[in-house]
Each structure stands twice: as structure tokens, then as C-alpha cells.
DNA sequence: GCCAACGTTGGC
DNA sequence: GCCAACGTTGGC
């Protein structure tokens, strides 16, 4: 799961413990969240920053439920087309597990593209998804770099 | 349904 | 700041 550290970083998650993952407004990313289950592992990725990459590990702490910010007119995530009867956007709660011993920069992850496989979404050309799946094998390979 | 215009993401 | 890639919007 990607986050801009200026907005919400792994340190912020460590401080608050658990955070509702508000603001995802992309259907594909939403659909991936819908498939999440309590206890699923999360790689916490810092995007749009000096050194983009994986910085920590978190855990899915709730089943998916409607993102409350879609109903809040004052929120930048407000969606006028969403209703309580027919919500459009869902989220899960994300719970801090740990920071990595060292960050894994995207530049370094690229060096392991072959091992991670073609279907590794983060390295796909043009991939902009803020929520994407990682297989068990990819998870292991990434964390072995730590 | 097509597609141009526009907005956003995010690496560099 | 630049720009490629992609998603969304809205006119037709």
C-alpha cells in the first residue's frame, strides 16, 4: 500500500497504531482492498518522495467497510455520487507492525525484477495503483533484501 | 460508443 | 519542474 510520507508515513502509522486507509478513489485499488482479510500482511510503501520504496510492514486490521470520507462534504475525498445506501468506496484499517531494518528503495527493488516476476505490479510499466497485491513468494524475496 | 480534453500519479 | 502513463469527464 502506497502513501506519500509527507501526508502519512510509516512513522505516523507507528504513532497512531491503527489507521483507516481513507481516500482510495481508484476502482482497481478499491477492489484489491475488498479482497483483504484481517491479518493479511501489508508492505508500506513511500511514494512521491526523495527515496521511494518499502519502509515498513503493517497488517490488515479490519474487514472492508465504506470509507466515511466519501460522505463528508468538507473532505477532499468527498464523492457526491456516493450515498450511504450505495457507497462507492471501501477501505480497511491498517495496523503498524514494524519498520524495516532499512528501507528498500524502488531503485534497488528494480534490480530484482527478474526474481520478482513479470506479474509484480509495482514494477509494471505505467503502474500507478496505490493498492496492489503481492504474492507470498514476492513478499519473501523482498524482505530477504532487508 | 468514441474520443479529445483534462486531471492525477509518481518517478526522475 | 518535467513528463509519461493512465483514468475520468463530457460533448457529440
Q: Tell me the mean pLDDT in the region A105-129.
A: 93
Q: Grid cell 506519500 — which residue?
A: A4
Could you give the angle at the alpha carbon of A135 between the alpha carbons of A133 and A139, nearest 5°?
105
pLDDT at A137: 95
pLDDT for residue A114: 94
Q: Is the CB of A80 under 7 A from strand C?
A: no
A126 CA to C10 C1', in Å?
Answer: 25
* Distance, Å, A125 CA → C4 C1': 10
Residue A136 CB burial class (10 angstroms; 0-12, 13-18, ≥19): exposed
Which cell goes with A30?
Answer: 478499491
Structure confidence at residue A134 (pLDDT)? 96
Question: pLDDT value at position A16?
Answer: 98
Using the predicted structure, report yes or no on whether residue A126 has a pLDDT greater than 90. no
pLDDT at A127 over 90: no
| Positions in chain C where some atom is under 7 Å from a protein CB | 5-8
Q: Which homologous superfamily does the CATH classification assign to the domain defined by A2-143?
A: ph1033 like domains (3.10.590.10)
Task: Report the helix count and the strand count for chain A, using DSSP H and E.
Answer: 5, 7
Let me know: does A62 contact A92? Beta carbons within 8 Å: yes
Query: Residue A42 is placed in which grid cell?
Result: 501489508
3-state secondary structure at position A60: strand
A2 CB below 7 A from strand B atoms: yes
How confident is the model over A90-99, as pLDDT tens digits? 999 999 999 9
Mean pLDDT for A3-28 is 96
- For residue A13, give the nearest of A33, A49, A51, A42 by alpha carbon: A42
For the stretch A46-105, pLDDT in tens is 999 999 999 999 999 999 999 999 999 888 899 988 989 889 999 999 999 999 999 999
SS3 A63: coil
Q: Region A31-52: what's the mean pLDDT?
A: 96
**What pLDDT does residue A74 have?**
87
Amino acid at each position: 500500500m502506497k502513501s506519500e510520507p509527507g501526508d502519512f508515513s510509516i512513522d505516523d502509522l507507528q504513532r497512531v497504531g491503527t489507521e483507516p486507509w481513507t481516500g482510495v478513489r481508484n476502482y482497481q485499488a478499491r477492489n484489491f482492498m475488498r479482497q483483504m482479510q484481517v491479518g493479511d500482511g501489508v508492505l508500506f510503501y513511500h511514494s512521491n518522495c526523495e527515496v521511494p520504496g518499502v519502509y515498513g510492514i503493517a497488517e490488515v486490521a479490519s474487514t472492508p467497510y465504506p470509507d466515511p470520507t466519501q460522505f463528508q462534504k468538507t473532505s477532499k475525498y468527498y464523492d457526491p455520487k456516493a450515498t450511504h445506501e450505495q457507497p462507492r468506496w471501501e477501505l480497511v484499517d491498517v495496523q503498524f507492525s514494524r519498520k524495516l531494518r532499512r528501507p528498500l528503495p524502488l531503485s534497488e527493488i528494480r534490480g530484482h525484477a527478474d526474481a520478482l516476476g513479470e506479474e509484480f505490479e509495482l514494477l509494471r510499466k505505467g503502474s500507478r495503483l496505490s493498492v496492489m497485491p503481492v504474492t507470498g513468494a514476492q513478499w519473501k524475496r523482498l524482505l530477504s533484501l532487508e
